[in-house]
Chain A
C-alpha cells in the first residue's frame, strides 16, 4: 500500500457520511495523522489512548490469551471507533445523528 493509497483510503473514510474526523496515534500517544484541529487531536490522543490501554489490560487480565482488537464507544452525540494495534492506534469519530 503506497502513501497515495493510504491518503485515498483516509479521504474515503473522512468523506463517509457522519464521519467527523480520524486520528492515527502511535504507542506514546503522539498523533501521527489527524483530521481534527490540534486541541481536539491532543485531547483525543491522550484520553482515548489511555482508555484503550486500560481496556486492553482489562481484557488481558480477564484472559491472558485474549487480546483487544477493536472497540466502539457509542455516546449520545458520536460514535468513537478505535482500532488499537501493537504500535499504532486508529481512531475515527462518527456522528450518530447522521444515520
Chain B
C-alpha cells in the first residue's frame, strides 16, 4: 500500500512488461533473425511458458501492453476502476494499472506482416547436381549446355525427375547412384563416351548429339531396319563385305600366329617345305555341306584371269528336291582355311559342263543336262543365270557335255557340243541363237559326242570323243567341214580327251590322249588312225585323262575306284610314276591341272574337290625332256609296228620283206 511498495511493484511490472513486449515481438517475427530490432535485444530465454499459465495476468499485461504500445489511443479504462487513485497517480503508468473491470477494449492493431518464402536448401554433392533446365549462360560448361539440348530433344522416359542432367566433374570419375541410373538409362553409353574424350568437348558435343539422335531414331526404326536389310544396296554391300570379312576371319588364326609366335613361324616354314622325294602333297579339299553333298562333280575349270579361282559344276542332288538342280561353285585356293565358296550359282537343270570365259573376267558358262547353255555373271548379285539359250531345235536338245571358248580377245566364240552330235558356235553376248550349228556325222552316222577339244589355239580343227568309243577329228569350216578322220581303238565310251599343249622345242601338238570305260588310256597321234600306245594299268572305268600344261611327258588319269595316276612317259612308259588310291568308297570323276601345272584338282562323286601340290620336277621340264619324249614316241611306234607284225604273221620270206618295209616305214615316219 505504500508508495514504495507500489513503486517496487511498478518496477517489477515494468520489467515484466518489457519482457512481454519482447516476447511478443519475437513471436511476431520468429524467422527473421536479421530484424534489426533483435540486435539490440539481449538474448532472452522465453519465459512465456510461466506466464502463460496465468491467463488473467496475461490479459492484464496484454491490456497493459496494448495500452503501452499505443500511447496515442488511450484505453478507456473505466473510470470506475478501483485503482482510480493509483491510476491518477500514475497516469503515465496507466498501462501498469490492472483494470478492475475486465471489459477491455481491444482494438485492431495492424501488424506488419513479412512473408518470406521457404528457403531453398541448396545441397551440393560431388556426384550429382541437379540443374534447372532453361536458358543458361553458354559460357558455362559446354557439357551442361549439351545436356540441355538433350532434354529438349526427347521426353524423359521415367517419371518424376524433370531435370535429369548429369554433370561430369572434371576431377572425379563418374559414379552413379542407383536412383539416377534407371532414369539415365541408355544415355549411359553416351555419358561414358564423354568421360573418355573429355578433352575434345566440342566433338563430344557432336557425338553425344549424334548418339542421342541416333538413339531416338533407333527406337523408331525397327521396321526401317528390316527394310534396309532387304534393299538392293544393302545386299550389294553385304555380299562384298561379308566375303572380305569371312576371308579375313579365316586367315587371322594363322596371321595371328605369325604375329606372336616366332618359333611358330619357323615350324610353319618347315612344314611348307616339300620333300624332294614326295611327288604330290595334299593341299586341301573343297566341300560345301549345303551345295555339294550328294552331288557328283561334273566339270572343273580354272580361271585364266585369277588363277586361284576354281570353278566346279555339280550334278543334281537326288536327296533334296527343294535345292536347285544346277549348282556351280567358285572356290578360292588362295585362302587356305576358308571353307566356303566364293560364289554360288544356280540354274534349273544340272550342269554337265562348265567353263570360265577366257576373255571375259566375270563370265561363266555352263552347259546343262537339258541342252540349255547358261551364262552367269559374277558382277551381279544374282545366283541365277543372266542369259540362257532357248530350248529349241536350233540349239541343243541333249545334254551339253562339252563347252570351250576359242578365238581371241576380240573374236571369240563359244563352241558347244551335245550328245546328239550337234555342234553349235555361239557369241557370248547374244545367246538366243547359235551363230552356226553343225550336225556331226561320220559316214551318215551321227556322232554321240562326249568330249571335244580344240587343240592348242586352234579355231577350226577339233577332236571329238564319242560314246561308241571312237575318236574323231574334224574341222568347222573349210572344204571338208565336219568329221574327217576316225580313230578306232576303244571298246567303250570315251570319257576323257586331252590334247598335248606344251610349247617347247619339239612340237607334240598332234598327240592326244583318250580314256575310256574299257579300262584303258590310249595315246594317239592325229596322223595315225591307230593308237600309238595303250596304257592298261587300270582295273576299272577310267574317267578322265589330262596332259600337264607345262611338262611334255606328264599326264594324269583318274578312275572310278578312286585311284589317280601320274605318268611320266620319259620315266616309264609302262607304269605310272605315281599311283594313289583315295580312301573310302570314292569314285573320281574329273581331274584337272592348274594353269601353271603346279597343282592337280580331282573331283569325285561325293561333291568333294581335292587339291594336291605337285612336286617341282614335274612342273619344270628340262630341255632334254622334249627330246626324250620324241624318242619315247619313236619307241612306241616301233612297238606298235612290231606288234602289228606279230599279230599278222605272214610267210617267212615275206616277213623279211615286211620287216624291211616296216623298217623303211619307220624311218619314213621318223
Residues A46 and B245 in contact, CB atoms below 8 Å apart: no
A94–B248 Cα distance when bound, in Å, is 11
- Return the chain A residue nearest B208 by Cβ: A46
How far does the alpha carbon of A39 sit from the alpha carbon of B221 in the complex, in Å?
A: 17
Task: Looking at the assembled complex, report how far the CB atom of A96 sits from the nearest CB atom of chain B, in whole angstroms.
Answer: 6
Please tell me if A65 contacts chain B, counting CB pairs below 8 Å.
no
Q: Which single residue of chain A is at the shortest CB-CB distance from B238? A: A6
Residue among B192, B211, B215, B217 with most chain A CB within 10 A: B211
- Check A72/B256 contact, CB under 8 A, given A6-B238, A30-B217, A88-B237: no
B223-231, B323-331, B436-444, B475-483 - interface stretch: B223-231
CB of A33 within 8 A of CB of B229, answer yes
B207 lies within 8 A of chain A by Cβ: yes
With A29-B214, A45-B214, A46-B193: A1-B207 Cβ-Cβ less than 8 Å: no
Known: A29-B210, A33-B229, A46-B207. A99 touches B257 (CB 8 A): yes
Q: Are A85 and B237 in contact (CB under 8 A)?
A: yes
Q: Are B193 and A28 in contact (CB under 8 A)?
A: no
A48 CB-CB contact with B under 8 Å: no
Tell me, yes or no, whether A74 is within 8 Å of chain B by CB: yes
In the complex, whether B394 has a CB less than 8 A from a CB of chain A is: no
Closest Cβ of chain A: how far from B335's Cβ, in Å?
13
**Across-interface contacts of A18 in B (CB, < 8 A):** 253
Q: What residue in chain A is nearest B189 (Cβ atoms)?
A: A42
Question: Does any Cβ of B come within 8 Å of A66's Cβ?
Answer: no
Q: Which residues of B contact A47 (CB under 8 A)?
A: 193
Please tell me if A19 contacts chain B, counting CB pairs below 8 Å.
yes
* B430 at interface, CB cutoff 8 A: no
In chain A, what residue has the closest Cβ to B234? A88
Determine the interface band of chain A, counting residues with CB < 8 A from chain B.
35 or more
Determine the chain A residues whose CB is within 8 A of the CB of B381 once the complex forms.
1
Given A13-B249, A43-B192, A81-B245, is A6 in contact with B214 using a C-beta cutoff of 8 Å?
Answer: no
A38 — which chain B residues lie within 8 A by C-beta? Answer: 186
Nearest A residue to B196, CB-CB:
A47
Interface status of B242 (Cβ within 8 A of chain A): yes
B252 at the interface (CB under 8 A from A): yes
In the complex, A38 Cα to B222 Cα: how many Å? 13
Inter-chain contacts of A26 with B (CB < 8 A): 228
Q: Are A90 and B241 interface neighbours, CB within 8 A? A: yes
Report the Cα distance A85→B253, complex, angstroms: 25
Please tell me the number of chain B residues within 8 Å of chain A, measured between CB atoms: 41
Q: Is the CB of A39 within 8 A of B252?
A: no
Contact with B along A15-42 (1 / 0, CB 8 A): 0111100101010111111000011001
Shortest CB-to-CB span from B184 to chain A, Å, is 12
* CB 8 Å contact bits of A73-99 with B (1 = contact, 0 = none): 010000101010111101010101001
Bound-complex Cα distance A28 to B239 (A): 21
Give the residue of B215, B228, B249, B257 whose beta carbon is less than 8 angstroms from that of A16: B249
With contact pairs A39-B189, A99-B253 given, residues A12 and B340 touching in the complex (Cβ less than 8 Å): yes
Query: Does B188 make an interface contact (CB < 8 A)?
Result: yes
Does the CB pair A1–B238 fall under 8 Å?
yes
Contact flag A70-B244 (CB < 8 Å), given A3-B230, A30-B214, A50-B207: yes
Contact A81 B248, beta carbon cutoff 8 Å: yes
Task: Give CA–CA (A87, B483) in the complex, Å.
Answer: 58
Q: Is the CB of A83 within 8 A of B211?
A: no
Q: Which of chain A's residues have a CB closer than 8 A to the CB of B81?
A: none
**Contacts of A28 on B, CB cut-off 8 Å?**
210, 214, 217
In contact, A13 and B246 (Cβ under 8 angstroms) = yes
| B221 and A83 within 8 A (CB) | no
- Report which of A79, A81, A87, A99 forms a contact with B237, defined as CB distance below 8 A: A87
Contact of A32 among B225, B240, B257 (CB under 8 A): B225
Q: Out of A6, A16, A32, which one reaches B235, CB within 8 Å?
A: A6
* Contact of B665 with A by CB under 8 A: no
Closest chain B residue, CB of each to CB of A30: B214
Closest to B240 in A: A85
Contacting pair A99 B256 (CB below 8 A): yes
Chain A neighbourhood of B210, CB < 8 A: 28-29, 46
Interfacial residues, chain A to chain B (CB-CB below 8 A) = 1, 3, 6, 9-10, 12-13, 16-19, 22, 24, 26, 28-33, 38-39, 42-43, 45-47, 50, 69-70, 72, 74, 79, 81, 83, 85-88, 90, 92, 94, 96, 99
Known: A1-B381, A88-B238. 11 other contacts (CB 8 A): A6-B229, A12-B246, A29-B210, A32-B225, A32-B229, A42-B186, A47-B193, A81-B249, A90-B238, A94-B249, A99-B257
| Chain B residues engaging chain A, CB cutoff 8 angstroms | 186, 188-190, 192-193, 207, 210-211, 214-215, 217-218, 221, 225, 228-230, 233-235, 237-242, 244-246, 248-250, 252-253, 256-257, 259, 340, 381, 383
